[in-house]
Structure 1
Amino acid sequence: MPVAYQNIPSALTGGSKYKVDQKGGITLDDASKEKLNKQSIPYLPSWRKNEKYEPYEFIEYHDRALKADKDLTNLFPKDGKYELENLSPKFGTEIKGIQLSELNDAAKDELALLASQRGVLVFRDQDLIEKGPKAFTDFAKHYGELHIHPTSGAPKEFPEIHSVLTGNTDENPFSTKNSLISFHSDVSYELNPTGISLLSVTNNPKAGGDTVFADAREAYNRLSPLFREKLEDVYALHTAVPQANLAIVKGGVVKRHPVENIHPIIRTTPTGDKVLYVNSAFTKSIVGLKAEESEFLLKFLLDHISGGHDFQIRVNWKPNSVVVWDNRISSHSAILDFDTNEPRLIIRAAARAERPVNNLANLNKPDENNVYEGPEYLGNRVEPGSAKA
């Protein structure tokens, strides 16, 4: 059976150079560091060759949004001076005049509720990034146990920050593909995928490098009632194997053995929203269908999401911007429309959320994480770091 991985252009994996110390620590070299701004330095990706974590176990999750004051009086006090601008009628809001670092716990709960309603919240002029990785992770921890990514780099001492350095290469990213848009819901292969998430770009090109988000609730609502009914009890397999294989092929580190888990195509969130829960990065197949049938139906659903420009928004990154979004009700993609010799550093911290269900009667019902041990995983054949691209 062939090994499954995507040969991603170096513009997406980054052309920056790294060095390895005697203890197996992998860090950015000095020449690559000089191309980044000062704010990015505390967030640089790093790895340790011996860094390993056990596969996650099931957790119960209790949504902070359900504890919130529905009037949002702590997040938006009467005497506050703030501006809200909806990025589209149903999805996405830009907020000015609120410092995330100053919010109390009640306001953070209300932030989760607002994220569950608007999907994506864009905050400008934030001091959270300048305060450093600890402040960034401490804020995100309010929403639950933070997820540690199985392959990506992280700042030293802060493995919960998913740090992705791209660009910094002269390669033509479109030499083999017309588009590199890949809508995904982060780590949907996990038994407990992430929910409330924080995202920021600390080093962005002069123009471009936006992030596009799609509303998975509206993607569901646009389907006909009969089609929604047919999908109600249909499940899909989500896999981490191609991502792990890519890390090995690129000489990277797989910190946690890849998993595959089955989730409902129609997911119901704790706040009662129904969402279309498939994505092009991690959804492998539809359970119970033959290969051709699965590919046909998945292609329709994925094209429906990627082509739904009337339920998508685009976030333009400005200095000191922080996005808070609900990963359960949206999918997103980086937009590679900038000169790839410019580096782009994006950071994320995200809390593990509930096991996806289609019926809230099954919410927090214990389940087992499915660790993949099949032949498609390259790590079962070679030692990590020994394969080359």
Structure 2
Amino acid sequence: MALSPVLSRYWDEPSSWTLESYLRHGGYTGLTTALAMSPDEVIGTVKDAGLRGRGGAGFPTGLKWSFIPQGDGKPHYLVVNADESEPGTCKDMPLLMATPHVLVEGIIIAAYAIRASRAFVYVRGEVIPVVRRLHTAVAEAYAAGYLGTDIGGSGFDLELIVHAGAGAYICGEETALLDSLEGKRGQPRLRPPFPAVAGLYACPTVVNNVESIASVPLILQNGIEWFRSMGSEKSPGFTLYSLSGHVNNPGQYEAPLGITLRELLEYGGGVRTGHRLKFWTPGGSSTPMFTDEHLDVPLDYEGVAAAGSMLGTKALQIFDETTCVVRAVLRWTEFYAHESCGKCTPCREGTYWLVQILQRMERGEGNDSDLQKLLDISESILGKSFCALGDGAASPIVSSFTYFRDEYVAHVENRGCPFDPRLAELMVGEPMS
């Protein structure tokens, strides 16, 4: 499969983030096209193109926009989720560093479509350079008349606010993000009502991922057929895959949806020299893991789901045969236990006890009953927590048992990690017994 970069086609150019550079590459022509259409026609175009949310769930973007009630007399809001915190995921931040104006243009088009006069970008607070670059791009757009009042003489007004979060992973969940944006503690809301009905400030709100919104100007600029010429029938278009871990050339690889890991590894120089693939994640650490048996699974929403996982954020973390599965799962579980907001009991208590058991196994103090306990606790979390964080915490454990149960058994029978025991000591911070 040939890679033809679209979003990333001029990331390597000097000053690619400036308005001048963006205009030179056809920037804001999609906005001109959109403003010549009615808002409903813009929604229809995005619907017909088949653009699916690039933040993890893959929900059709145009359909999400169409849920916003019209003529309700309430203000409408557009919120862009740029709180990229999923382990292994690093596609939105490079995009914002290289070409922030494609997001700004996408925001204006999306806001016009849903009839919103105010939009927000909620950025992960730790990435200060990205926050600064976004502020600069927004200022350039205001100065050029792309934001503010009467944009392009259309009569459409839009104010855009860049908001830096405080570093909580849970704020990547859309309703927790909205609470945080309102100045409250970031915790998931009970749904229904959904954000399309009662979102930010209890008004109709669309929450979209950075890459989803950044794809919109290109659809308006090049047309529905052009977008559908890439990817698969149910997952059309292009996307960014984050290739990391034990690979010779890690980085961002833009490709049509449906490419396989085998093909991406060819572009990435393969698994690190002298080693072989052991397991990998198709969409970040919260998605069930795959093994070398899944190298030819099409990396689109249907293909990955049919194989038993989720495409998620397309964060392909690659692990070779030197990696202890139990240790890797413990690392992820410690992250989820730390980032649990504590609102619901299954996640708050479940992730804590998963960490205790896994650490015990790494110290060589595990027993046969711990194997079943891990699965029982995971079952108590999966599908029963307030938001998807609980599911994300249980997924690595359940899937690792599917493919590597013998490694867990070895930890019990060998009284510790069968790999390098010194690494296990560093892992749990205590000497081996």
Tell me the TM-score range normalised by the shorter chain: under 0.3
- Scaled by the length of structure 1, what TM-score is found? 0.26
Kindly indicate which of the two structures has a greater share of residues assigned to helix: 2
The one of the two structures with greater contact order (alpha-carbon pairs below 8 A, sep at least 6) is 1
Kindly indicate which of the two structures has a greater share of residues assigned to strand: 1
- Higher Cα Rg: structure 1 or 2? 2
- Scaled by the length of structure 2, what TM-score is found? 0.24
